[in-house]
Amino acid sequence: MKAFVGFFLTIAFVGPAWADPQDDMSLADKKGFDSYLSSPAYAGRLSDMLKNAKTASFSGCENVTTDAPRIVVIKPIKVGPESTPIAGVWKVTVPAQGCGKSRLINAFFVVGKENKVFFLLTIPGTSRGDPQLQKDTLFYVFMASARKNADCKAPSIINSRFETDEKPSVIANAPPQFKSLVFDRQSRETWSVEVPVHYMHSTAGTTITAAESEVVEVTKDQADKQ
């Protein structure tokens, strides 16, 4: 399989910056959450996540090491008896290294029914897209790579890198109904398969485009270094 690299992925976000969800957590919930993060139950969930992530990002590599997890609260955590989360969402990022590659492993942990904690593994790297946005993007990424090389039947996302926030712009190949809309914010990322993907968000919906002209073929060794 051949890998592809795109020069950039542009995402336009609307709305004000989100406040820190931890500001809406009580002191008791914060202490309870800290206690849960030190518990055997959470250690087991984290171990399962890392096992799946290593298979996805370090296939065939036996010696993979990880650093301490970084945690960002996405939705305020509420904690019940015995420091058990009963509501909330948090993102875990774990730096990992192995076989000449370095990746930031990402997963969203969600408190579901019966207070069970589930995790959703997302693409590695520093992409700021939430799980749903990343999922919606994959179709456009795969279509762009398929147009570039019909032999690449099952591309995978190797890595992602947030680049910068920038002045919003109108994407030339966006559908006509979106060209007159005002976009509040725009940021630029690089994805490694890699295929550039463009998001234009507004109150009317989201437009995603991926330009074949921005897809550049790279070797497997080059892709591994992304």
> pLDDT tens digits, residue range 99-157?
998 999 999 999 998 899 999 999 899 888 888 888 887 777 777 666 665 555 556 77
Positive/negative CA dihedral, 20, 25, 31, 37? negative
pTM value is 0.70
85, two tokens: 């989360």
Which amino acid, one-letter code, is at 10? Answer: T
User: Strand, helix or coil at 137?
Assistant: helix
Q: Are 209 and 12 in contact (CB under 8 A)?
A: no
44, two tokens: 């087991």
> pLDDT tens digits, residue range 146-184?
666 555 555 677 888 887 766 655 555 555 655 555 555
